[in-house]
Amino acid sequence: MRRKIGLLSVVLVVAMLLPASVLARSATTFPEIIPLPNGFQPEGIAVGYGTEFFVGSLATGAIYEGDLRTGGGSILVPGEEGRVAVGLAFDERSGYLIVAGGPTGLAYVYDTRTGEEVATIPLAGAGNFINDAVVTRSAVFFTSSFEAVLYRVPLLAGGGLPDPVQVQALTLSGDWQQVPGAGVFNANGIDATPNGKTVIIVNASLGNLYRVNPRTGQAALIDLGGETVTMGDGILLDGKTLYVVRNFANELAVVQLSPDLASGTVTNRLTNPAFRIPTTIDELGHRLYLVNARFDVENPGPDTEYEVVQVIKP
């Protein structure tokens, strides 16, 4: 305790001696727009240690590592033909980045300290779409957009993968509604409560939110009082506030949930001139970060620009 107080005193003295211009610059060093490599075709984002962040490529499965403070970055994992990176989840215990592989039906696990591949995990069969992922204390969960299934991969206490890796397919049941049709996106974004006892999933087509038992797949509809969050993509649970990225609506819906997560109220619908079909979301303190996927570009090429957009929590 004394060391913390002593350090704080030193910091305060130094701050008093610094010119106001230096203090102003230090308070605004987090850029509102962070450019990604041209032609990258991003989708998922995850914040790692400190101010580092990761974005995956739909086109090649590459992983870009950047710094939210400086806006700089570089390729951590080079792309490969046939690989796809959609939703991302970071496990701070192991430093692993877990990647949903979209139409490949696979999940990939990378060590963010080295960029090395830890595992490739087969999940769904051909014709399905592994969309997003969330890490809890005991497992990592994946949504599969074209089937009413939640995939669960158990983790070791330190976040490592058991040998062999186990995969459990949990049928989404209860209130869950699956919209039929080839290529219809249902389960999309996913997040979990801090204790891992409940996961929340958005159905992109219906605009419904569900709280799901991560052991059984039993789903209960979250009552939004008649409102919906159609086009719901990535989601972020922050206490009892749920942020839902509505991609083609270029909107971030803010939902205030009840203590038991049984109901919620859409309290805000945030827009930003910099939104260009945002898809996924993560946070650092009071800042939110959304990836512009630019799905409105019909034929994206090597010169197509992409970026991460910062939004301050309301």
Contact 133, 152 (CB under 8 A): no
DSSP assignment of 40-101: --EEEEEE-STTEEEEEETTT--EEEEETTT--EEEEE---TT-----EEEETTTTEEEEE-
* CB atoms inside a 10 Å sphere around CB 49: 10
Q: Are residues 108 and 13 in the same domain?
A: no
Angle at 141 between CA 139 and CA 143, to 5 degrees: 175
- 191 and 288: one domain? yes
242 and 136 part of one domain: yes
How would you write the pLDDT of the chain (314 residues) with one tens digit per residue? 332 333 333 333 333 444 544 434 444 589 999 999 999 999 999 999 999 999 999 999 999 999 999 999 999 999 999 999 999 999 999 999 999 999 999 999 999 999 999 999 999 998 899 999 999 999 999 999 999 999 999 999 999 999 999 999 999 999 999 999 999 999 999 999 999 999 999 999 999 999 999 999 999 999 999 999 999 999 999 999 999 999 999 999 999 999 999 999 999 999 999 999 999 999 999 999 999 999 999 999 999 999 999 999 99
Q: What CATH number does residue 125 fall under? A: 2.130.10.10
Same domain, 251 and 299: yes
Give me 104's structure tokens: 């490949």
Domain count, the chain: 2
Q: Can you name the residues that pair with 110 across neighbouring β-strands?
A: 97, 117
Q: Which of 176, 216, 209, 208 is nearest to 191 (CA)?
A: 209
Find out whether 258 and 277 touch, Cβ atoms under 8 Å: no
- Predicted TM-score (pTM) of the model is 0.91
Domain of residue 201 covers 31-312
Is residue 236 classed exposed, middle or buried when 0-12, 13-18 and 19+ CB atoms within 10 A define those classes? Answer: buried
